[in-house]
Chain A
Amino acid sequence: MASAAAAAQSAAGAAGAPGKRLVNDVCVDMLLLEASSYLLGRRGKPGEAEDLEAENFRELHHSAIARLESLGWDVGCRLTERLCQTKLLSGEPLEAVKFICKDFWTEVFRKQIDKLQTDHRGTFVLRELNFKWLAKYAPDKSRTDRNLAWFTLQFACGLVRGAMATLNQPATVKADFWDEKTDRSLLPAVSFTIRLKQA
């Protein structure tokens, strides 16, 4: 049984990347773009594109934002379930976060996250220096671009939150690319803040 699986894997490896099926990056980009415009368009009336540059974008589109985040949550849960079939975790929060930084991130972005910081009291900050989904919005552009980039980012927040939940570490996840001190965009760098929910 084990040798058959190994043989299958090496056959797949010979055909390309080791054991993994791949698709073009563009497919995911297009899918996210289309899902985003579907969710944003559905709630607003047609032709209401100007509200994308609104300052209160986040209030106007709170339901689309929640829906995109929950789409990410769903994918994060399922992907983590699949990844964990072959991996045992101890149940420590730090280990769950490390799993997201390494295994999970590699699965989705083919690289590890660049930097992980923690205060050892349930808050973790993950820094990704080149977040490829938002590369096209970088750097400082119009407010519409800023809003759309932030919107797309909510899918990634959902992914991380879903992964944490599946690893039995319920948490809140926020992400931003705005540096409050200098009031400038940090794109394509993005940081995620994970806060464990107190049990």
Chain B
Amino acid sequence: MATSGKQHTRLGEQAWNKMSKVNAEFFALTYGAMVMQLVQDFEDTAAVNAQLDTMGYNIGVRLIDEFLAKSGTGACADLRDTAETIAKVAFKMFLGVVAEVANWNADGTAFSVVLYDNPLIEFVELPPQHCELLYSNVLCGVIRGALEMVQMKVECRFARDVLRGDDLNEIRVELKEVLAEQMDDQYFEGM
């Protein structure tokens, strides 16, 4: 496992080095402005959290193409491989930070992505009236959307959040179902 972990880290570094990049402060401020807009639009914090998740999902289903095209990773062998790829390659390639995989459940169908350094929250403090806000919930949506495009239905939620007083950010990912590979007739004709 250790060697494969290293390999993921290396792939992540390589992908990151190839990318065209932008100042993370600007990105964090833009994200913050968008979240503030949502907070103004919806009265209910739960609705804001859901909207952030939906927006993340929409991003995820598009982002997976970029990831598959430019990350240099192949198909994942199993869920452990997938988890390492998300944490070490995808987070590095897009946000420039490496996450860790932790807390596998006994039957190996759920894991946590632990993010020590979250570029989204650089300037953020949650005011008391918004303490239920899952500020970075967009990340859950992105993971869910991206994995759905590679036939994995997962549930994602923020289990721990630095903004809510936890010592680190933890996104819990639970595999619900592996969707059957759907092939169109045209693929068979070509074979």
- Known contacts A24-B93, A26-B66; is-contact A75 B26 (Cβ 8 Å): yes
Q: Which of A26, A79, A107 has the most CB of B within 10 A?
A: A26
Give the residues in chain B near A38, CB-CB below 8 Å: 34, 51, 55
Q: How far is the CB of B32 from chain A (nearest CB, A)?
A: 8
Q: How far is the CB of A151 from chain B (nearest CB, A)?
A: 15
Distance A135 CA – B58 CA, assembled complex (angstroms): 21
Chain B residues bordering chain A, tally (CB within 8 A): 32
Distance A28 CA – B31 CA, assembled complex (angstroms): 9
Give the residues in chain B near A108, CB-CB below 8 Å: 22-23, 26
Q: How far is the CB of A22 from chain B (nearest CB, A)?
A: 4
- Known contacts A26-B94, A30-B62, A34-B55; is-contact A20 B23 (Cβ 8 Å): yes
A21 within 8 A of partner (CB) = yes
Q: How far is the CB of A73 from chain B (nearest CB, A)?
A: 9
B76 within 8 A of partner (CB) = no
| Binary interface encoding of chain A residues 23-49 relative to chain B, with 1 for a CB under 8 A from any of its CBs, else 0 | 111111011101101100010000000
Say what secondary structure dominates the interface of chain B: helix
Query: Of all chain A residues, which has the CB nearest B40?
Result: A67
Partner of B30, one of A16, A26, A32, A82: A32
Q: Which of A21, A82, A110 has the most CB of B within 10 A?
A: A21
Q: How far is the CB of B184 from chain A (nearest CB, A)?
A: 25
B59 within 8 A of partner (CB) = yes
Q: How far is the CB of B186 from chain A (nearest CB, A)?
A: 27
Q: Which of A28, A37, A67, A110 has the most CB of B within 10 A?
A: A28
- Known contacts A23-B95, A24-B95, A78-B29; is-contact A71 B24 (Cβ 8 Å): no
Q: How far is the CB of A164 from chain B (nearest CB, A)?
A: 17
Q: Is the CB of B63 within 8 A of A30?
A: yes
Distance A67 CA – B23 CA, assembled complex (angstroms): 24
| Binary interface encoding of chain B residues 27-70 relative to chain A, with 1 for a CB under 8 A from any of its CBs, else 0 | 10111011011000100000000010001001100110010000
Q: Is the CB of B30 within 8 A of A24?
A: no
Give the residues in chain A near B16, CB-CB below 8 Å: 24
Q: Which of B26, B62, B66 has the most CB of A within 10 A?
A: B26
Q: A22-B96, A74-B36 are in contact. List 4 more A-B contacts (CB 8 A).
A: A23-B94, A24-B95, A75-B26, A108-B23
Interface residues of A (CB under 8 A from B): 16-17, 20-28, 30-32, 34-35, 37-38, 42, 67, 71, 74-75, 78-79, 82, 107-110
